[in-house]
């Protein structure tokens, strides 16, 4: 994962991006991240931590704002990540 972060930082810097929209649990450190959240299934069902779910957690924790695909996903995101403020989460229509 750390190699992915470094690679994304390099790409984002080279194109002068001002934000990075993470659609699959990636993130970068050089610009604000917007996390697109599709579901909270591993959290709801308390799946064992594996590399993919750890990546998802890191991406969520590194985001400055969030996009959720549904109101239910937004509610779950806020439940499992109580440090996120409701106004930080938009919903796709």
What's the average model confidence in pLDDT over 14-22? 93
pLDDT score recorded for residue 86 = 96
Encoded tokens for 60: 């969520």
What is the DSSP-derived secondary structure letter of residue 22?
Answer: E
Q: CA-CA distance, 58 to 46, in Å (whole number)? A: 17
At 29-87, the pLDDT tens digits run: 999 999 999 999 999 999 998 888 888 999 999 999 999 999 999 999 999 999 999 99
The model's pTM: 0.88
């Amino acid at each position: 994962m750390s190699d992915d972060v470094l690679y994304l930082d390099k790409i984002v810097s080279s194109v002068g991006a001002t934000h990075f929209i993470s659609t699959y649990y990636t993130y970068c450190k050089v610009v604000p991240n917007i996390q697109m959240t599709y579901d909270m299934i591993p959290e709801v069902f308390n799946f064992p931590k594996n590399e993919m779910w750890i990546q998802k957690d890191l991406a969520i924790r590194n985001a400055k704002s969030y996009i959720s695909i549904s109101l239910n996903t937004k509610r779950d995101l806020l439940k499992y990540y109580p440090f996120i403020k409701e106004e930080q989460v938009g919903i796709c229509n």
